[in-house]
Amino acid sequence: LPRATAMFGPTFAGESVIRLDDVAADPRFGQSGPHFGMPEGHLPVVSYLAVPVKTPAGEVLGGLFFGHSEPGRFTAVSERLVVGVATQAAIALDNARLYARQRSVAETLQQSLLPERLPSVPGVVMAARYQAGGPDVEVGGDWYDVIPLPTGQLGIAMGDVVGRGERAAALMGQLRAGVRAYAADGKGPAQILAGLNALLHDNGAEQMATLVLGMFDPVTFELRFANAGHPPPVATLDGRTTLLDGTTGIPLGATAGATYREVTLSLPPGTTMVLYTDGLVEVPGESLDDGLARLVDIVAGATDIEDLCDRATSAVSDTRTDDAAILVLRVEPLGSRISLQLPAEPHALREVRATLRRWLGECGASETEAYELLVVGGELCSNAIRHAGGESRTFTLDASIDDDKVVTLRVQDQGSWRQPRVDEGGRGLAVINAFAGEVTIDRAAGGTTVVATRRLTGADSAVAS
C-alpha cells in the first residue's frame, strides 16, 4: 500500500482530488525516501488522477488511483466520472458495513438467546440444533429454550418470530423472558401463551410469533402443552410416530384476547418428542405434507437423538433458505445409578426429592422405604447446602442400587461438615441413623463425603414402629 507521502497524503486524508497532466512535474513528487519518486519496476505513470472514497459522514474508506504513461490524459470529465464512481462506492461500502454490523448484532443477540447448553435432567436426554439461513439471508427468529422449573417440571419452548433481523431477535428475547417469568410464577402453557399474546398486543408492535410450549414432569411423565400457530410436535409413543396436532391455536400477536387449549399426555420412558421450526419442513418446491412426512420418517427410524438432529437438519441443508431449529427429548429409564450436580441452594432440595422419588419407585422401594430414603437424602443434601464451600458452591448426589437391592446415597460437597449443634444437625443425624442401615462421613481437606446405605426389602419396614 502507498504511504501517506506528500503525493498520497491529500487522498488518504480525504482532503482533495489530485489530477495532474505530468505527475513528475508536481512539487509534491519525489519528496520521500527511500525512492524519491517511483521505485524501480513501477508501471510508468505520467498522467495521474487520485480520488478519495469518502462516506457521507466524511470517513475515508480508500482511494481510486489512475495512471497513464502519456501526459494529459485525464480531463475534467474523467475527474467528474471518477468522483461519481467514488461517491457511489463509498455509499455502497458504507451500507455493506452497516448491514454486516446489524447482522452481527442480530446474530449475537439471537445466539445469546439460545441455550448455551441444555440442562441435565436425570431420565431425560436432550439434543438440539440451530442452523442459520445462510450468509445472504437475514437472521431469522427461530428460538428454543429448556427451563428447569421450581416444581421439578421441565419447561420446553420452540418458537419462531415472524420477520427477520434485529427486530425479530429483540422480540425473541422478550418472548423468552416472558415464558421464563410466567413459568416461574407457576402458570401453565395455555395461560402463558394467552399472557404473551396480550403482551404482544399491548406493545402495539404489530409483530407475530408462533410458539409451542410444553411442561414435562420427569417423575409422573405427564406432558402439558399448548400451541400458538406453530408446526405440531412429532412424538413416538408406543412405537408409533405421529404429529401432535389438533390443538394448534392462532399465532401470538394475531388477535387480542386469544385463548389456547391445553393438552395433557403421558410420555413414559421410551418416548421421543421432537419440536422444530418450519425451516425444517418447508422447502421450496416441496409440499408441507411431504416435509412433515420426511421428518416423521426420520424420527421413526432414529435410534440416537444426536443422529436424529443431524439427519433432520442435513435433509434440508441444501434447499433450505429459512433458518431451522430442532429440539429432541427422549424419556429414558433412570437405570441403576443416577447422579445430580446441583447448586448449594435450598431450592435444589425439591429437585433432589423429585428425582429420588421417581428413581426409588423404579427400584421397587415400598412407600415407607422410599419416604425414609427420601428423608436420608434430604438430610444429607441439606447439610451439604448448609456447609458447602469452594468456588462452585455446588454439591453432588449419587444414588445407586446393586444386585442385592442395597441402595447407596452418596453426597459430596466442597465444604467442611462442622460438628453439628445439638438442636440442629443432631436431629438430622438421628434421623439419618434411624433410616439408613449404615452411614459413613469422610471429612477430607477438599470437602466432605457422606455415604448412607440401606437394603430394600420392599416391605414397609420402618424403624420407629
Partner 1 sequence: VTVLLQRHGSITVAHVNGDIDMANTASLLAAILAGIDVDDVALVLDLSAVRYLDSAGVQMLFELARHLDTGRRAFAIAIGDGSPARAVLKITQVEEVASVRASVDEAIDAVAGTTTRSPRGEKP
Contacts with partner 1, residue ranges (CB under 8 A): 346-347, 349-350, 353, 367-368, 371-372, 374-375, 378-379, 382, 385-386, 423-425, 427-428, 430-431, 434-435, 462-465
458 class by beta-carbon count within 10 Å (0-12 exposed, 13-18 middle, 19+ buried): exposed
CB of residue 423 to partner 1, shortest distance in Å = 7
CB of residue 221 to partner 1, shortest distance in Å = 19
CB of residue 448 to partner 1, shortest distance in Å = 17
CB of residue 379 to partner 1, shortest distance in Å = 5
Whole-number Å distance between alpha carbons of 115 and 145: 6
Nearer to partner 1, 158 or 363 (CB): 363
Nearer to partner 1, 140 or 152 (CB): 152
Nearer to partner 1, 315 or 385 (CB): 385
Nearer to partner 1, 53 or 354 (CB): 354
Whole-number Å distance between alpha carbons of 326 and 315: 13
> Looking up cell 448426589, which residue turns up?
397
The string of DSSP codes covering 83-149 is HHHHHHHHHHHHHHHHHHHHHHHHHHHHHHHS-SS---BTTEEEEEEEE---TTS----EEEEEEE-
Alpha helices in 283-417 (DSSP H): 288-301, 305-314, 348-363, 367-387
Structural contact between residues 337 and 398, judged by C-beta atoms closer than 8 angstroms: yes
Sign of CA dihedral 247, 251, 252, 255: negative
Nearer to partner 1, 291 or 428 (CB): 428
CB of residue 420 to partner 1, shortest distance in Å = 10
> Looking up cell 424419556, which residue turns up?
331
> Looking up cell 412405537, which residue turns up?
239
CB of residue 426 to partner 1, shortest distance in Å = 9
Sign of CA dihedral 137, 139, 142, 143: positive
Nearer to partner 1, 15 or 424 (CB): 424
